[in-house]
Amino acid sequence: MTTTGIISQLLQLVIALVLAPLLVGWVNQCRAWLQNKRAPSLLLPYRTIRKLFHKDAVVADNASPIFRLTPYVVFAAMALAAAIVPSLATDLPFGHAADAIALVGLFALARVFIALAAMDLGTAFGSLGARREMFIGFLAEPALLMVLFTASLISGATLLPTIVETLAHRDIAIYPSLAFAGVAFTMVSLAENARIPVDNPATHLELTMIHEAMILEYSARHLALIEWASALKLFNYSCIGLALFLPFGIAGAGAGWLAILAATPALIGKLAVGGFALALIETLSAKLRIFRAPEFLGTAFLLAVLAMLVNLLLGS
Amino acid sequence: MATAPLWAQLINLLAAILLLLAFAMLAQRRVLTLIDLFAAQGFALACSTAIVAYATRQPHLFWSAGLTLVLKVAALPWLLYRLIRQLDVRWDVEGLINIPTTMLIGIVLVVFAFNLAYPISQLANTITRATLGIAMASVMLSFLMMITRRKAVPQVIGFLSMENGLFFAATSATYGMPMVVELGIALDVLVAMLILGVFFFQIREQFDSLDLKHLEKLRDAQEAE
């Protein structure tokens, strides 16, 4: 464990925590522009979180400890994931704490807790949202794992820093398998982050909502943590995507200070483009019926499996 | 990791696209989009044949690429479009099995085809031998499409796309067949298409529908009902 490693780890964690709400604000702004609406401020997510932290929390009388614990567990899981995903540098002390498969497990842990908390109070909306979330989750997870397996097969490792090292330093060539995996990963990210083809993030109190239905009972600091955690989740998924499919600009193993500092603007630039692409996808597509979601995620799974098979057969 | 030359990468890419298109056809609900996908598959096939021809300096492959282009990208889709217009059928394609299940069966078939092709492609010494598995997989996927579809038009498209797969297999295993054979097959497909077009009208005359399950009953049994 080197000093540079610890510094880059800390820098990466701080950047993730600080920039995650900004990414959400940027996506919302782009979407408003694309839809000819007046855009909300870029800093709106920060203001929302600050406002929520200053309010008094209201918790239902029959809430169990799980309900109170969940925001902290979810936030901690997302923050830990942000420390593991190599977004700035690959020389991360935390990077060896969990490989790609454990990372999927970390996301699953957050999902289980948030679903339990939603069912805890016994409200109709909460259980409905929890059921739908688990339904989406069990379809999305295999596809996500297959995408990660494809990257692991190419690089021969399941540790994310090693994968990124290998992918960033290979010769430039056409990789059909990575192209398939990239499309599959985009589809999974859309579903996992409650984005438009599967869920609409802009609606409260609609019968089709999934994520919003689960967090209806939360208020004040709990809600702030959950909002921040979902911003972090979007940030993490974007960083995984960038690390796997556009690993250029990430500081390598022996990189010094300058490389790590130079990686920050590169990351921000890539995230800005990625955020715009997300807003574009959300504007161009319509929300699917919930029972069409298996088809959507089934296609993602199919693409991911094809990526793996093509990689095995063609070696590319 | 050693990098393959650009044309080999392009062939691999086109092979992957062919496989993707085969799955897209398997999942497609609309018959007009199905025809477009078939044309796209033909185009990918023509491109890959042309690249193989360029890479191995085999002029006769250029001819077969051109033949593919004319026949499978222009003529057959045009014929199919015309048939659809004359029959006035724009229904959504009905499958016997729902689409996610069909796709899962498709994945199993692809794994099977890859396993089957692996020892064969070890014996071949062509530059494109790795794509043999993909060619076999797309043949099997077209088979699956013929099995799971109930109506006549999608079944015929499945038949035609199976021919695409066979053609691709021939190119990847042995750099294509002799010109005479290729011309013969092209003519066969064209004639089969024309005859099947006549069949469509006959089937519809008899049963007022293109659903092939009507063909499973014998006439006597039908009258007895």
Q: What is the pLDDT of residue A175?
A: 81
Measured between alpha carbons, how far is A293 from B100 in angstroms, rounded to an integer? Answer: 11
Point out which residues pair with B30 in neighbouring strands: B92
Which of B15, B27, B103 comes nearest A314 by C-beta? B15
Q: What is the pLDDT of residue B166?
A: 86
Cβ contact, residue pair B110, A295, below 8 Å: no
Do residues A120 and A211 touch, judged by C-beta distance below 8 A?
A: no
B52 vs A: CB within 8 A: no
Residue B114: closest C-alpha in chain A: A313
B3 CB neighbours in chain A (<8 A) are 171-173
Average pLDDT over residues A104-133: 88
CA A130 to chain centre: 19
Average pLDDT over residues B45-58: 86
Do residues A295 and B99 touch, judged by C-beta distance below 8 A?
A: yes
**Closest C-alpha among A276, A208, A201 to residue A233:** A201
Helix axes A176-192, B6-27, angle to 10 degrees: 40
Average pLDDT over residues A151-160: 84
Do residues B190 and B196 touch, judged by C-beta distance below 8 A?
A: no
B16 vs A: CB within 8 A: yes
Point out which residues pair with B211 in neighbouring strands: B151
Cβ contact, residue pair A174, B20, below 8 Å: no
Q: What is the pLDDT of residue A153?
A: 87
Tell me the pLDDT band of A161, cut-offs 50, 70 and 90.
confident
Planar angle of CA A226, A227, A232, nearest 5 degrees: 90
Q: What is the pLDDT of residue A225?
A: 92
pLDDT of B220 strictly over 70: no
Q: What is the pLDDT of residue B122?
A: 75
Which of A174, A309, A310 comes nearest B9 by C-beta? A174
- Cβ neighbours around B67 below 10 Å, total: 18
A171 vs B: CB within 8 A: yes
Measured between alpha carbons, how far is A295 from B100 in angstroms, rounded to an integer? Answer: 6
Do residues A22 and A45 touch, judged by C-beta distance below 8 A?
A: yes
Average pLDDT over residues A295-306: 88
Cβ contact, residue pair B16, A180, below 8 Å: yes
Cβ contact, residue pair B17, A176, below 8 Å: yes
Which of A176, A298, A315 comes nearest B103 by C-beta? A298
B100 CB neighbours in chain A (<8 A) are 294-295, 298
Q: What is the pLDDT of residue B191?
A: 83
Q: What is the pLDDT of residue A62?
A: 84
Q: What is the pLDDT of residue B39?
A: 92
Give the total residue count for chain B.
225
Residue B127: closest C-alpha in chain A: A314
B103 CB neighbours in chain A (<8 A) are 298-299, 302
Which of B107, B130, B134 comes nearest A305 by C-beta? B107
Token pair belonging to A186: 């985009």
Q: Which residue has the higher pLDDT, B93 or B185?
A: B185
- Write down the ipTM of this complex: 0.75
Least confidently predicted of A89-98, A135-144, A265-274:
A89-98
Which of B1, B104, B131 comes nearest A170 by C-beta? B1
Average pLDDT over residues B22-33: 84
Measured between alpha carbons, how far is B193 from B198 in angstroms, rounded to an integer? Answer: 9
DSSP string, A6-59: HHHHHHHHHHHHHHHHHHHHHHHHHHHHHTT-PPPPTTHHHHHHHHHHTSPP--
Point out which residues pair with A16 in neighbouring strands: none
Tell me the pLDDT band of B13, cut-offs 50, 70 and 90.
confident
pLDDT of A95 strictly over 50: yes
pLDDT of A60 strictly over 60: yes
Tell me the pLDDT band of A76, cut-offs 50, 70 and 90.
very high
Q: What is the pLDDT of residue B172?
A: 76
Helix axes A176-192, A124-155, angle to 10 degrees: 160
Tell me the pLDDT band of A255, cut-offs 50, 70 and 90.
low
- Cβ neighbours around A171 below 10 Å, total: 8
Residue A172: closest C-alpha in chain B: B3
**Closest C-alpha among A223, A230, A227 to residue A192:** A230
A312 vs B: CB within 8 A: yes
Average pLDDT over residues B89-98: 69
Instruction: Please give the radius of gyration of chain B, using alpha carbons only, rounded to the nearest integer.
Output: 19
Alpha helix stretches (DSSP H) within chain B = 6-27, 31-56, 59-68, 76-87, 99-123, 132-148, 152-174, 179-207, 219-224
Q: What is the pLDDT of residue B94?
A: 66
Q: What is the pLDDT of residue A233?
A: 92
**pLDDT tens track for A122-150:** 888 888 888 888 988 888 999 999 999 98
3-state secondary structure of B149: strand
Average pLDDT over residues B18-47: 88
Least confidently predicted of A45-54, A109-118, A196-205:
A196-205
- Cβ neighbours around B176 below 10 Å, total: 22
Place of tokens 């999974």: A188
Do residues A144 and A185 touch, judged by C-beta distance below 8 A?
A: yes
Q: What is the pLDDT of residue A312?
A: 82
**pLDDT tens track for B177-199:** 777 777 888 788 888 887 887 77
Q: What is the pLDDT of residue B1?
A: 39
Do residues B114 and A312 touch, judged by C-beta distance below 8 A?
A: yes
